[in-house]
Amino acid sequence: MEVDGSCHCGRITYRAVVDPAKASICHCTDCQTLSGSPYRSSVQAPAATFRLLTGQPKIYIKTAESGTKRAHGFCADCGAPVYATSVTEPQAYSLRIGALRQRAALAPRRQIWCRSALPWSASLASLPGVERQ
């Protein structure tokens, strides 16, 4: 499936081909902190399909508890997270679903790091809701 995305200010735009079956949610504490959200939703794109169209992401190298390093690309102007990939040889880009125009069609198929999932993050459907603020 072809997707295209943009950071919030629009400086960084990109295009890729993703497999919707690889859309997932990560509940790890790094994703919570880096996304500022209870969990992060991402979908994998093979590196060969990823094309940066405009802008240049700033890279933050994250070192996981395991020692694994990941390059996190984000917009230095608006702060929006764009992707994560390998530091040395990118084979795939983990695109942040919330920044993709096709996000409504990319429902997550699995969740990882459930052991650190916030206890309230799975029960949003029962909260009272309004269309706008």
Instruction: Please give the residue ranges that form the binding site for Zn ion (CB under 5 A).
Output: 7, 9, 11, 26, 28, 31, 75, 77-78
| Closest C-alpha among 2, 39, 35 to residue 20 | 2
Residue 48 or 116: the one with the smaller Cβ distance to Zn ion is 116
- Nearer to Zn ion among residue 48 and residue 118 (C-beta): 118
Beta-bridge partners for 62:
70
Provide the minimum distance between the beta carbon of 128 and Zn ion in the complex, in angstroms, as a whole number: 29
Compute CA distances 22 → 34, 45, 63, 111, whole Å: 21, 9, 23, 11
Closer residue to Zn ion (CB): 7 or 23: 7
Provide, rounded to whole angstroms, the least separation between the CB of residue 40 and Zn ion. Answer: 6
User: Could you tell me the two tokens for 92?
Assistant: 């795939």
Least distance between Zn ion and beta carbon 79 (Å): 7
Give me the least distance between CB of 12 and Zn ion, in Å please.
Answer: 6
Answer for the pair 38, 121: CB distance below 8 angstroms, yes or no: yes
In the chain, which ranges are E strands? 2-6, 13-17, 24-26, 40-46, 51-54, 58-63, 69-74, 81-86, 92-96, 110-112
Nearer to Zn ion, 48 or 112 (CB): 112
